[in-house]
Amino acid sequence: MKEKNIFICQECGYQSVRWLGKCPACGQWNSFQLEQETKNNDRQIVFEPPKKLDEIEKEVGEKRIPAGISEFDRVLGGGIVSGSVILLAGEPGIGKSTLVLSVADKIVSSERKVLYVSGEESLSQLKIRADRLKIKNTSDIYFLSNSDIEVIKTVIDDFKPQILIIDSIQLIYNSQLDYSYGSSFQIRETAHFFIEWAKKNNVSIFLIGHITKDGAIAGPKTLEHLVDVVIYFEGESMSNLRILRNMKNRFGPTDEIGVFIMEQEGLCEVPEASKLFLSSRKENISGSAIFPSQEGKRTILVEIQCLVSPGYFNIPRRTFTGLDYNKVNLILAVMEKKYKLNFSSHDVYFNVSGGLKIDEPAVDLPIAIASISSFKEIPTPADAVFIGELSLTGEIRPVPYIPLRIKESVRLGFKKVFIPKISDNISISGIKIFQAEYLGDIVKILFPTEQKQSVKTSNL
């Protein structure tokens, strides 16, 4: 058995025989840590020979365990896959432990044992949390308060749970390793153990993870590559809205979201998310445009709000919440160039109501319409929605899922929709559809009094 010292980048896993200030692979500074690499030349190699595709036995369907929470099952693609490892990450206090404890209460049964291992809370603290959440299956969920991987291994080998929850992976450590708990080496080694144990015993494991101040999961980046599913639990500190967002899923879609409200008794599902985001909307207010956002198979209508006010400094202020900063600045530049709207002398503020984050191209048209509405102080129609991607030439380009977005808008009572000009003839009862090739075509309809001053006739 031989040992040698190597330096490993804690961000991307790049290895070097000497310490480097900057990683040549990922470009991170001061990310190298000294680790010992152990090689055992005497070990026996056991492997299976390669097989042809028609020789591999196929399992009939995926064995999924319904979580009993529809918003949670939606994000996972229909339930928890047996033997999968799910990494749930989020900011401190966002409700990660509350979510997994609620899931445990729904899926536990006489044939399905759940073990909750906490490295952060004592058993009495876990009892207080369970009482506050009004956990019903108090005799079927087992709790363990310990951070030592050797103790946990002994317990789970003897207990043999069907669902294992680790809270959190950053606090689990191996006392035989000469590294402090929370270090990248400890996280990687303990995660390796849980992943191998899950595959070997066909047990689903939840790993709760902390995130850094930059929003990344604490520990090595390889942790996200090792697990089967990565989901983020998001929310603003001053809001009770929570968004469960899928970032990686080997067994289902990666563009679904789940919407929750954090109440005193715990998390409550919000199946009608559009009504939640539009509940406080006021009519006949300038600077507002409704956008049917598509999150996987789900359409959620949100309000894009804009405030344009005269600037009093040499550099105008730009503050955008829930939207990509570069995207909004690009759209403002297009309108300045093509339609002679002087945003350079105005402060511009954008907000997505409800705290939702939107980064799809279809939001370009609502951004443009909301900014023009605020700039001209002319309200947009209260019964209209806007869908489309805006090019640098002012052209409105088609986007996916237009029929689905329109049908959801009709269901919620909207009567008009502005979309890009497309070859297919869309006819949906209950709504009037306006197809436009350029942004100027829509501006001419919504803001006719300002047409001569602000719109290029070449684009109409």
| Residues 152 and 117: beta-carbon distance below 8 Å | yes
Q: Which of 246, 271, 296 is the last residue of a domain?
A: 271
Query: Is residue 50 a part of any domain in this protein?
Result: no
Nearest CA to 395 out of 421, 370, 369 is that of 421
Tens digits of per-residue pLDDT, 328-362?
A: 999 999 999 988 888 989 999 999 987 788 989 99
Do 86 and 159 lie in a common domain?
yes
Do 130 and 252 lie in a common domain?
yes
Do 293 and 414 lie in a common domain?
yes
Do 305 and 333 lie in a common domain?
yes
Query: Is residue 47 a part of any domain in this protein?
Result: no
* pLDDT at site 460: 36
Higher pLDDT, 93 or 450: 93
Query: Is residue 187 a part of any domain in this protein?
Result: yes
Do 236 and 290 lie in a common domain?
no
Give the predicted TM-score (pTM) of the model: 0.77
Mean pLDDT, the chain, whole residue set: 86
Query: Is residue 281 a part of any domain in this protein?
Result: yes
* CA distances in angstroms from 319 to 158, 278, 335, 352, listed in the order given: 55, 22, 18, 12
Do 316 and 300 lie in a common domain?
yes
Do 202 and 330 lie in a common domain?
no
Do 231 and 297 lie in a common domain?
no
- CATH code at 109? 3.40.50.300
Tens digits of per-residue pLDDT, 275-307?
A: 888 877 788 889 999 999 998 888 999 999 999
- CATH code at 319? 3.30.230.10
Give the model's confidence band at 457: pLDDT under 50 very low, under 70 low, under 90 confident, else very high.
Answer: very low
Do 251 and 305 lie in a common domain?
no
Query: Is residue 56 a part of any domain in this protein?
Result: no
Do 398 and 440 lie in a common domain?
yes
Query: Is residue 398 a part of any domain in this protein?
Result: yes
Do 310 and 191 lie in a common domain?
no
Tens digits of per-residue pLDDT, 360-399?
A: 999 999 999 999 999 999 999 999 999 999 999 999 999 9
Tens digits of per-residue pLDDT, 409-429?
A: 999 999 999 999 986 778 888
Q: Is the pLDDT of residue 326 over 50?
A: yes
Query: Is residue 54 a part of any domain in this protein?
Result: no
Q: Is the pLDDT of residue 131 over 80?
A: yes
Q: Is the pLDDT of residue 453 over 60?
A: no
Give the model's confidence band at 148: pLDDT under 50 very low, under 70 low, under 90 confident, else very high.
Answer: very high
Do 226 and 314 lie in a common domain?
no
Query: Is residue 424 a part of any domain in this protein?
Result: yes
pLDDT mean over 226-235: 91
Domain count, the chain: 3
Domain that holds residue 204: 61-271
* pLDDT at site 75: 92
